Amino acid sequence: MSPNVYFVGTRCTGCGASFPPDTDILLCPDCESLVDPVYDLERFRTELPGLELDRRPPSIWKWRELLPVSDFEKIVTLGEGGAPLIACPGLARTLGVRALYVLDDGSSMPTGSLKDRSIAVAATKAVEFGYHALSCDSTGNKGASTAAYAARAGLRSIVFCPWDTPLPKMAQALFYGARVVRVRGHFSEVNAMYRRLLRVDTQGKSPWYDCGTDNPFRYEGKKSYAYEIAEALDGVAPTRVFHPAAGCMSLVKMQKGFEEMLQLERIDRMPALYACQSEACAPIVKAWESGAATVEGVEKGATVASALAFADPGLLGNATLATLRATSGGAVSVGDDELLAAWKELGRSGIFCEPSAAISLAAAQRLAESGELDSDDVLVCNVTGSGFKDMETLLKNVVVPETIVESYDELRALVREL
Ligand SMILES: Cc1ncc(COP(=O)(O)O)c(C=O)c1O
């Protein structure tokens, strides 16, 4: 074990059972609830000055003592984290708020999406536990990320995804060396089959390390959003943070990360957290609006936000509702037209993302239109995947010039027209 490890084990969020730090665990073996890593935060707080964190480069591992890792020598990294928080004053003016920032994972993560924040941690745990392969169910980005980190760690990777996953995401996973299994069905159906294969049919003894839904170590990587936002804004919290939501553990873990920052006096207050979904697949928004305590599955409709089409998030959805309530946030759904308009607006601000990732801005715009935002608001919109991830939608929305200039004279003539 490395020195300065503050990770002390995991605790079940349902029955409260505790497990030692070296336990390879997904859900609680007793009650099947989500489990949550625990740290000796008080000791960390006292020893923090000596760790000289501020001298470390930007990365999710800058805060490695607050990640569930027992051996820092085994960290698997491709340089993930440290995404830029980009001020967008024009968008802030349009929405009538004091400031609007885009946290741009698409341009800064090694595989071009938020998934690197969490899969880096999962791959590290797989190496700690001695696995030879990583597997996941995915709407595309998690698969690409799992394949990349498996390659980095010298492990095999197996990815299960809906048959109509955007080709660039499948191609990316294949390029890193994954076995990609395309399943006829949408993500919730793939998720159910995958769980049955890995959890039931193997009686929980899968030879592959499961980087899919419910991995408590993987989710912890998403706390890095809170650390990065707190640091980039010098400890002054934004009023609201919007996040594209599927399983939605990003929001749950952002809440945990901000709580840790509060305890360490690195931020002044908790921001309100918002889950943003497509109207065609919005189980969390439906539960939120009806005041339900749990999330029920919905029928998945067609949407351009393919990365977010998780029709039945189950336990994760329930945890998300608790986060939205605890942070006085909310859940917002938008239609594809609003989403594509926000996506293009980000393009005009120099931000190139996949449509799903623009839903955070679309949701903020929806709240602005319904008069729910204040002129004093400081917003952060997490933009979670690169524009290169969905070339099909991109090519449907730009016009590639048909004219091909054959000579300098033609070029001069054309330039005069411009
Ligand atoms: C681009 C993008 N944004 C957001 C999400 C949703 O993240 P979460 O599962 O934390 O809700 C996904 C999930 O695949 C994604 O690919």
Residue 303 near residue 336 (C-beta atoms within 8 A): yes
Report the mean per-residue pLDDT for the chain. 96
Is the pTM for the entire model greater than 0.85? yes
Q: Is the pLDDT of residue 1 over 70?
A: no
**Is the CB–ligand 1 distance for residue 385 below 6 Å?**
yes
**Is the CB–ligand 1 distance for residue 384 below 6 Å?**
yes
The arithmetic mean of pLDDT across residues 204-224, rounded, is 94
- Specify the pLDDT at position 27: 94
Q: Is the pLDDT of residue 3 over 80?
A: no
Within 308-390, residue ranges assigned H as helices are 314-326, 336-348, 359-369
- Tell how far the Cα of 52 is from the centroid of ligand 1, in angstroms: 32
**Is the CB–ligand 1 distance for residue 356 below 6 Å?**
yes
Proportion of the chain above pLDDT 90, given as a percent: 94
Proportion of the chain above pLDDT 70, given as a percent: 99
Sheet holding 209-210, edge to edge: 179-183, 156-162, 133-137, 209-210
Residue whose CB lies within 8 A of the most ligand 1 atoms, among 104, 115, 343, for a mutation test: 115
Which residues partner with 12 through β-bridges?
Answer: 35
**Is the CB–ligand 1 distance for residue 317 below 6 Å?**
no
CA angle 255, 215, 116 (to 5 degrees): 70
The arithmetic mean of pLDDT across residues 126-132, rounded, is 97
Q: Is the pLDDT of residue 2 over 70?
A: no
Report the C-alpha gap between 252 and 215 in whole angstroms. 14
Q: Is the pLDDT of residue 221 over 90?
A: yes
The arithmetic mean of pLDDT across residues 348-360, rounded, is 97
Residue 159 near residue 181 (C-beta atoms within 8 A): yes
- Tell how far the Cα of 1 is from the centroid of ligand 1, in angstroms: 32
* Chain segment 261-314, per-residue pLDDT in tens: 999 999 999 999 999 999 999 999 999 999 999 999 999 999 999 999 999 998
Instruction: Say which range, 86-100, 129-143, 201-215, 278-292, has the weakest mean pLDDT.
Output: 201-215
Q: Name 401's Cβ contacts closer than 8 Å, sequence gap at least 6.
A: none
* Chain segment 260-272, per-residue pLDDT in tens: 999 999 999 999 9
Residue nearest ligand 1's atom 13 by CA = 307
- Return the closest-CA partner of residue 5 out of 20, 16, 17: 20
Q: Per-residue b/e over 211-241, b at no fewer than 16 CB within 10 Å?
A: bbbbbbbbbbbbbbbbbbbbbbbeeebbbbb
- The pair of structure tokens assigned to 384 is 């979670």
DSSP annotation of 96 reads T
Q: At what angle do helices 41-51 and 249-263 cross, to 10 degrees?
A: 70
Q: Is the pLDDT of residue 79 over 70?
A: yes
- Tell how far the Cα of 129 is from the centroid of ligand 1, in angstroms: 26
pLDDT classification of 193: cutoffs 50, 70, 90: very high
Q: Is the pLDDT of residue 367 over 90?
A: yes
> Phi and psi at residue 311, in whole multiples of 5°?
-75, -20
- Tell how far the Cα of 404 is from the centroid of ligand 1, in angstroms: 39
